[in-house]
Chains A and B, each alone.
Chain A
């Protein structure tokens, strides 16, 4: 492996790791927000609608960042 290839690989690894950590950060933030809303406003009828966007956003982060769903139509990998 040449020095250039090693540099490209290191850059790729750094980029992918950063991408994963950013996804993880948003998952953590949204999980905590979900928890705070649910425990502070317990029993409110609008709870499901308030938390649904967070659930969907978290699901999309996992599908996109971690599961590379876009590889299915060739945008990733």
Chain B
């Protein structure tokens, strides 16, 4: 009898310990992602400072300001929809989560189309051989690469979401990708004035 009574207790105790051991995981995940983002900041800072070092605040007259403002607005809107996607899954609103994630992906793709047009114009007016052009292509290219990787993450989250993954108790995958997407937005908040406004 005693054996029968104690065995489940021991098992439960082990189970509790397992949960206690894993309780640090979400915080550790967040910390890991923040460290990665912090390391990315150095990369962007290097190229942002290179632009000021090589050309100061001078910029060509034929920059397409309207297009740059347009892609900036699209990226900011995508950041809001990404935030709403994360908030939706946090409260188990799966339909809204999928809707906002899809909207974020569409806006990310639109941003890339805008960037492609920008790059095409740039090759005509300020090619990579010029000092401004080299900074321009490097920063836009680096940022576009991050947008593409963010989009891949969003696609994965979207398809996992369709298959029923994630919920209010487990949405780290969504949080991580969305956080990365916000970082891409944050980088653009610095790149946009650096290349177009200052």
Contact = CB atoms under 8 A, between A and B. Distances in A.
For chain B, give the interface size range. Answer: 20 to 34
Interface residues of A, number: 33
Q: How would you classify the secondary structure of chain B's contact residues: helix, strand, loop or mixed?
A: helix
Contacts of A62: 79, 182, 185-186, 189
A48 interface: yes
B168 to A, nearest CB: 8
A7 to B, nearest CB: 12
B134 to A, nearest CB: 20
B76 A72 contact: no
Given A31-B73, A59-B189, A66 B34 contact: no
B20 interface: no
Given A47-B198, A51-B198, A66 B83 contact: yes
B76 A35 contact: no
Interface stretch (B90-98, B103-111, B138-146): B90-98
Contacts of B196: 38
B80 A21 contact: yes
Nearest to B168: A9
A68 B84 CA distance: 13
Interface string B165-195: 0000000000000010011011001100100
A58 B189 contact: yes
Q: How would you classify the secondary structure of chain A's contact residues: helix, strand, loop or mixed?
A: helix
A24 B197 CA distance: 21
Contacts of B182: 62, 66-67
A27 B76 contact: yes
A59 B88 CA distance: 24
Contact of B197 (A28, A35, A63): A35
B57 to A, nearest CB: 6
17 contacts: A13-B87, A13-B88, A13-B90, A13-B91, A13-B93, A16-B91, A20-B83, A35-B197, A45-B57, A47-B197, A48-B198, A51-B193, A51-B198, A55-B189, A62-B79, A66-B185, A72-B30
Interface of A: 9-10, 12-13, 16-17, 20-21, 23-24, 27-28, 31, 34-35, 38-39, 45, 47-48, 51, 55, 58-59, 62-63, 65-69, 71-72
Given A35-B197, A71-B30, A72-B31, 14 more contacts: A9-B91, A20-B80, A20-B84, A28-B73, A31-B76, A35-B65, A38-B193, A47-B198, A51-B193, A55-B189, A59-B190, A66-B83, A66-B182, A72-B30
